[in-house]
Amino acid sequence: MCVLLWNILNSCTFPKRHYVSSAAKYNPKAFFKATLQSALWLYGNRLDLCSDLADWTVTHNQTHKSLNDLLKILREHGHSELPKDSRTLLCTPKVVECQAKCNGEYIYYGLETGIRRTLLQCPASTDHIAVTINVDGVPLFRSSAAQFWPMLAKVEGFEPFIVCLFSGTTKPVPLGDYIQDLAEEIKRLRETGIQHNGNVIQPVSGKLRDSCFLLHDGSIAFVTEKNPDGKLICSVFPDHQTSNLFEKPCQSKILNIAFIGSTRSKSATQLFQPQDLKTKAVCLPHCGGYAIFPLLHDIE
C-alpha cells in the first residue's frame, strides 16, 4: 500500500484544500500530514470508482471489450489511476479451479450468487421470484467429442446466468452427482430464503409452486403446465388413481427420484399411500420424464 500511495503522490494533483501555501512558514509535520490526507483521499476515491465500475459491468452484463473501451476513454480524460484492462478491474482469476466429476471437469458457481446479482435490478418490495432452470449439451467442435453441459437459471423477466458448468466428452454421468450441489442449495434456500433489502426472498416458493424440475432425454428444465382454461394440471390429480402411475423408482437418497412411464403426464415423489398424491404431486409435460424436485401445490 505504501508503494501505491507513493505512486499516487507522484502522479496525481492534490485537491486545492490540501495545498501548502508557499508564503506560509514551512512545517514538515503539517506538510506530511496534508500530503498523507490527500493520498488517502485519492486512494479512497480510486477504490470507490473501481468498485462502482465493476458493479456496473456485472449488473448490466457488459462485455470485456466494451469495458476496455470505457476504461480507455476515462483514462484519456484524467482518470489515469484506472487500470487499462477489464480483467484487472474485475479481478478476473488467471486460473479457474475445477473438480473432476461425472467423467469430466465440473465447476459450481451457485444459484444464490446469480439470484443476488439479479436482485440488484429488482424492486425493493420484491418478496418472491420465479426461477427457471435448464440444462442442455453444447458441442464445441465438429471433429471432437468435447462438449459443454451448462446449467442455466433465469429469474423471470431477466437474463439467464450460469449455475454450474460441466466439460467432457459425454453427458455428465452419473446425473445425480451433476445436480447434487444444486439440489442441496435449493433445499437450503427453501428453508432460509434470501435476505434482500430487509425482505426474505423465496426463490423456490410463491409462483414456483406451479413448477417442477424435469429430466427428459438428457435435459433438465423447470416446467409449468396449465389446462386451456388456465387451471393448473395438478388441480385434476384428486380425480386420478395412483395405480400404475410409477415404475422403476430411482435409488438416489438425495433426490428420491421416481421414473414416470412415457404415457403419463403426472408425477410425484414415490407414493406409498393414495392420499400422498394431494401433498406430493407435481406437474410434468405429457412426454414424461423424471421429477427431481417435488413442490407443493394448493390442492384442496
User: pLDDT at position 84, please?
Assistant: 87
Helix, strand, coil shares, percent, the chain, to 5: 35, 20, 40
| Percent of the chain residues past pLDDT 70, beyond the cut | 48
Find which of 14-28, 87-101, 121-135, 234-248 is predicted with most confidence, using mean pLDDT: 87-101
Phi first, then psi: give them for residue 39, nearest 5 degrees. -65, -45
User: Which residues, at least 6 apart from 256, have a Cβ–Cβ distance to it below 8 Å?
Assistant: 250, 269, 270
Cα distance between residue 102 and residue 232, in whole Å: 36
Residue 4 pLDDT more than 70?
Answer: no
| Torsion over CA: 174, 180, 183, 186 (sign) | negative
The DSSP-derived string for 114-156 is: HHHHHHTTS-TT--B--EEEEE--EE--TT---EEEEEEEEET
Q: C-alpha dihedral over 237, 243, 244, 250, to 10 degrees?
A: 80
Burial call 178-195: b when 16+ CB within 10 Å, e when fewer: bbbbbbebbeebeeebbe
Distance separating the N- and C-terminal Cα atoms of the chain = 65
**Residue 294: closest CA among 281, 284, 275:** 281
The DSSP-derived string for 65-85 is: HHHHHHHHHHHHTT-TTS-SS
The predicted model scores a pTM of: 0.49
CB-CB contact of 148 with 166 (8 Å)? yes
CB-CB contact of 223 with 283 (8 Å)? yes
Burial call 46-84: b when 16+ CB within 10 Å, e when fewer: beeebeebeeebeeeebeeeebbebbeeeeeeeeebbee
Residue 94 grid cell? 488467471
At 98, the pLDDT band (50, 70, 90 cuts) reads: confident
Amino acid at 41: W
Residue 14 pLDDT more than 60?
Answer: no
Q: What is the DSSP letter of 186?
A: H
* Mean pLDDT rounded to a whole number for the chain: 62
User: pLDDT at position 287, please?
Assistant: 33
In which region does residue 261 sit, left (phi positive, over 0), alpha (psi from -120 to 50) or beta (all else)?
beta
Alpha carbon distances (Å) from 220 to 20, 216, 268: 67, 7, 16
At 286, the pLDDT band (50, 70, 90 cuts) reads: very low
With 0-12 / 13-18 / 19 or more C-beta atoms within 10 angstroms meaning exposed / middle / buried, residue 284 is buried
User: pLDDT at position 265, please?
Assistant: 33
Phi first, then psi: give them for residue 225, nearest 5 degrees. -115, 135
Residue 53 grid cell? 465500475
More confident residue, 119 or 123: 119
